[in-house]
Amino acid sequence: MSCLFCRIIAGEIPGSRVYEDAELVAFDDIHPQAPMHVLIVPRVHVPTLNEVDPSHDALVGSMIRRAAAIAAERGYAEGGYRTVFNCNAQAGQTVFHIHLHLLGGRTLAWPPG
């Protein structure tokens, strides 16, 4: 298995898991860009947002709602937080298994870099 996130999901590489269920795993980013930087990752391997199709609609909804739930648990619901999917090279995607970044705990600039 060559995909890094498939390996983390399978437990082959240790990660600091913050949530898991039948569809999703969430773990702390190894290079956090904010006090909270969690990656919400589906167990199914989908390389980029370009390969998301209607069969994934419920899954993507679950990812977004899970991000909101983790943010709320950590006290960031009121103050605010950011969710990001990077898609392909120009957006800076480096791991080709879709993941939703959840960032919070500091003021986040807009537009992003």
Nearest distance from residue 31's CB to ligand 5GP, in Å? Answer: 4
C-beta separation of 108 from 14 below 8 A: no
The CA distance from 76 to 46, in Å, is: 29
Give the 3-state secondary structure of residue 101: strand
Closest to Zn ion by CB, 45 or 56: 45
The CA distance from 104 to 68, in Å, is: 11
Apex CA 101: angle with CA 67 and CA 85, to 5°? 110
Q: Does 104 bind ligand 5GP (CB under 6 A)?
A: no
6 binds, among Zn ion, ligand 5GP, none (CB under 5 to 8 A by kind): Zn ion
Q: Of the listed 31, 97, 99, 101, which one is catalytic?
A: 99
Interactions with ligand 5GP, residue window 70-89 (CB under 6 A): 86
Nearest distance from residue 89's CB to Zn ion, in Å? Answer: 18
Interface mask (CB under 6 A) for ligand 5GP, residues 36-65, using x and -? ------------------------------
Give the 3-state secondary structure of residue 70: helix
Q: What residues are annotated to the active site?
A: 99
